[in-house]
Amino acid sequence: MGSVLSAGGLGLLVWSGRTLGRNLTPLPTPVAGGSLVQRGPYRHVRHPIYTALLLLAGGWTVARGGRTRAAGTLLLAGLLRHKARIEDAALAARHPDHAAYRARTGAFLPRHGRR
C-alpha cells in the first residue's frame, strides 16, 4: 500500500510540475507575468503538488511505519496547508478569476458535485 501511495504521489508530482511549466516556483508567490493554471490536475485541485508530497510522505509512512514518520507527515500537512493559504491569497491578489476557481476546487482534494 505504501508503494501504491508513493507511486501515485510521484506521478501526480510530475504531472503537476509539467502542467505548471514556467509558472512553477518553490515560493508561495506567483511568478511575474504568470497565468492562473486551471488545466490538468489543477482542474480538480488548487495545490496538486502539495497533495503529491503528502501522498509520497504518507506512502513512506505506511511502508516504513513508526510514530516519528507519522508525526513528520502530519507536520508536513500543516506546513503545506499554511503555505497553501499564503499562495491562495497571493494568487487572488494577482488573478481576479481566482475567487471563482477557489469556489469550485478543493485545496488538496477534489470537491465532488461542484462543477
Encode pLDDT of 80-106 as tens digits.
Answer: 999 999 999 999 999 999 999 999 999
Domain annotation covers residue 56: yes
Domain annotation covers residue 112: no
Answer yes or no: is pLDDT of 115 > 60: no
Instruction: Give the integer Cα–Cα distance in Å for 90 and 56.
Output: 26
Domain annotation covers residue 109: no
Encode pLDDT of 5-61 as tens digits.
Answer: 999 999 999 999 999 999 999 999 999 999 999 999 999 999 999 999 999 999 999
DSSP state of 87: H
Residue range(s) defining the domain that contains residue 53: 2-104
pLDDT value, residue 70: 94
Where residue 113 falls among pLDDT bands split at 50, 70, 90? low
Cα distance between the two ends of the chain: 31
Domain annotation covers residue 114: no
- At 112, the amino acid letter reads H
pLDDT value, residue 42: 98
pLDDT value, residue 112: 79
CB 59 within 8 A of CB 2: yes
Domain annotation covers residue 8: yes
Express the helix, strand and coil content of the chain in percent, nearest 5 each.
70, 0, 30
Number of structural domains (the chain) is 1
Instruction: Give the integer Cα–Cα distance in Å for 97 and 67.
Output: 42
Domain annotation covers residue 115: no
Residue at grid coordinates 497571493: 90
